[in-house]
Chains A and B, each alone.
Chain A
Amino acid sequence: MSTPALTPPRQPLFSRLPVVSHLKKSVGLQRGMLIVGVVLSGLFILTSIFAPLLAPYGYSQLSDGSGSFPTQEAPSGKHLLGTTVGGYDVLSRVIWGSQTALAVIVVSVVMSLFLGVALGLLSGYFGGWLDRILVVVADAIYAFPTLLLAIVISIVISRGQSSFWGGIFSCAFSITVVFVPQYFRVIRAETIRLKAEPFVESAKVLGASSLRIIGRHIFKNATRTLPLMFTLNASEAILTLAGLGFLGFGIEPTSAAEWGFDLNKALADTSSGIWWTGVFPGIAIVLTVLGLTLVGESINDLNDPRIRGRKRAGRTPAAPVTQSTPSEAGKP
């Protein structure tokens, strides 16, 4: 993350972790953005972990001891955020929805990281016909509307709606197909750049195998931009999941709570002035994506010396940045 030549004393692992090291580098506004992002993301993760404790009812619960829930009831003491057309408690579904979102993020990002990084390393290192084919295919997929591709794939996998894990995996896989080309492009470009570096050359001269060079020398250096991509893709994964749910290709309401699906059902309510069914799941999506994006955005800015604010340089920040650090941050 920092310029390698200038950091001789190795700091403890904790302060070298992506977000922590960025927090130390940041000043003023950027620090504020990063902190807000970390807090929002933290809240999201905590909510999803403790959903069973936090939610007053189950996500598909329609009644309790005192009888069935009323439908389309305005927020009240018993149902803090009201109830939906189907008689679900809005607050409970918003809370449970975070669990679905987190599961999809984790599964999809892990799958696309694995595939994208592996393909990018192989393609960039070996080149040749494999590289050409992969680049053409990745470019074709990359340029295509992500949501459309995700719809087609989710239809193929789940043939519409499905159970909790079935739905999670089909959503996650649809998102993976969309993401792999992005990871692939970044890692491949880095690999090609690193391949020409002297340390790879010397490893080759010493007789290291291709596998060792890729795994040890290139992998570690090529994956610097991954924390950034991870956060940005996590937010995109939520948006894609919500989009799929909104169009009706997500997870069934009885299998899991999903914000996009709830918004779809809420759409019909708006014309009669019922706002609570749509506004709260929508806010949940916005806050989650906002948190993840703020983290990603801040990491991106802090990695880019042209954009980064300087820490107490002694001068006013209006002075142009004259440092000649080349910027290779993952910019599209």
Chain B
Amino acid sequence: MTTLIEVPEAEPGIVAPKSKSKAGGGLGRYIVVRFFLIIPTVFILVTLVFFLMRVIGDPITASQGGRLPPDVLAQRIHDAGYDRPVLVQYFEYLGQLITGNFGTTITDRRPVVEVLTTFGAATLELSINALIVALAVGIPFGLIAAQHRDKTPDALLRFFAILCYATPVFFSGLLLKLTFSVWLGWFPVAGRASTRTELAMSALAAPSGIYWLDALRSGNFAALGDIAAHAVLPAIALGLLTAGVFLRLVRTNVIGTLGKDYVEAGRSRGVSEFRLVTKHAYKPALIPIITVMGLQIALMLGGAILTETTFEWKGLGYQLVQYLNARDFVAVQGIVVLLAIIVAVTNFIVDIIAALIDPRVRY
């Protein structure tokens, strides 16, 4: 997450001239107000998920019911405190969350925090890979479509964008697997790395969990190749899902800015169409893209659950489905709460970046 925050530091040049008026204080105030808005968002989702999960019954009966004799079951429910009033449990859970205690999973009795850190890195890696694919496909194609507005390339690219949206990740994943792993044999079928690489990665001291980072740090280039081969198909499957959104956004916004007077002035001075698109119309069109990127994070996390299941990518989404099938609701609750926090924090960062770029956002 911290890597994302570095972006605003590169931008103070844009903000500086405005700070002569009271905009500097305005920005500070905006950041503080916006920061405190994270709390109700997370709080509402935690509450919602907690009570939804308790509607089903207590977590121990849900996961172990039928497998344990009734008296043992009752004893375990009592030990875990699930026989107390729901409201008491709710406030206790909130208290635990504030201290960073997400509870212990019921099925494999691991601290939820440990599950989150182990598998979170894999999901982060997948999301970064996919985001790279999405931006690398979406932005240039969007520019091309805008430049050739209403002509054949535009029509084809817009159709491609809609197709990206219309294809579920698991279907594009299935097609990619079928074509490139089974028939052509270029890439492995599933997983994050081959068993040997996985062993090498887990043997490292203080691994970050992000495989390519670990491989680079330990100078293990054979492993790096293996990791890259495994990463290609999942990244494309998940990346294409958001690439279509970026393509459409870039197209619409660049078309909007291309109609502005200053672009027309540039055109009258003989600036080439290519330069008008890439230089003049492109930058202002980026602001809405950054704003929408916040919402894309949520879409991407949802897509990650499906991608991870398709490619047996052992990340948070894959694990979440395992826990859901095992009816381990403590683990599910922990993962959902973590994802809620991630979404809220990324939206916060995105809003701040948008405010830094465009002073009109602050109020």
Contacts and interface: CB of A to CB of B under 8 A. Distances in A.
Contacts of B321: 247-248
B14 interface: no
Interface string B330-342: 0010001001100
A248 B170 CA distance: 13
A145 B55 contact: no
Interface of B is mostly: helix
Contact of A148 (B255, B305, B310, B347): B305
Interface string B20-44: 0000000000000000000011001
Interface in B309-363: 309-310, 320-321, 324-325, 332, 336, 339-340, 343-344, 347
Contacts of B183: 273
Contact of A153 (B44, B52, B299): B52
A116 interface: no
Interface of A is mostly: helix
B155 interface: yes
A306 B166 contact: no
Interface string A26-57: 00110001000000000000000000000000
B165 interface: yes
Contacts of A249: 324
A275 B256 CA distance: 43
A148 B167 contact: no
A151 interface: yes
Given A139-B41, A309-B150, A145 B306 contact: no
A275 B295 contact: no
B45 A140 contact: yes
Nearest to B55: A156
A270 interface: yes
A319 to B, nearest CB: 10
B343 A143 contact: yes
B182 interface: yes
A-B interface, 6 closest residue pairs, ranked by CB to CB distance from nearest: A145-B302, A282-B171, A147-B302, A289-B166, A140-B44, A290-B166
Given A147-B302, A148-B320, 12 more contacts: A141-B45, A141-B48, A144-B339, A152-B53, A152-B332, A155-B56, A247-B309, A263-B174, A275-B178, A278-B178, A282-B167, A294-B162
Interface of B: 40-41, 44-45, 48-49, 52-53, 55-56, 150, 154-155, 158, 162-163, 165-168, 170-171, 174-175, 177-178, 181-183, 189, 252, 255-256, 259, 264, 292, 294-295, 298-299, 301-303, 305-306, 309-310, 320-321, 324-325, 332, 336, 339-340, 343-344, 347
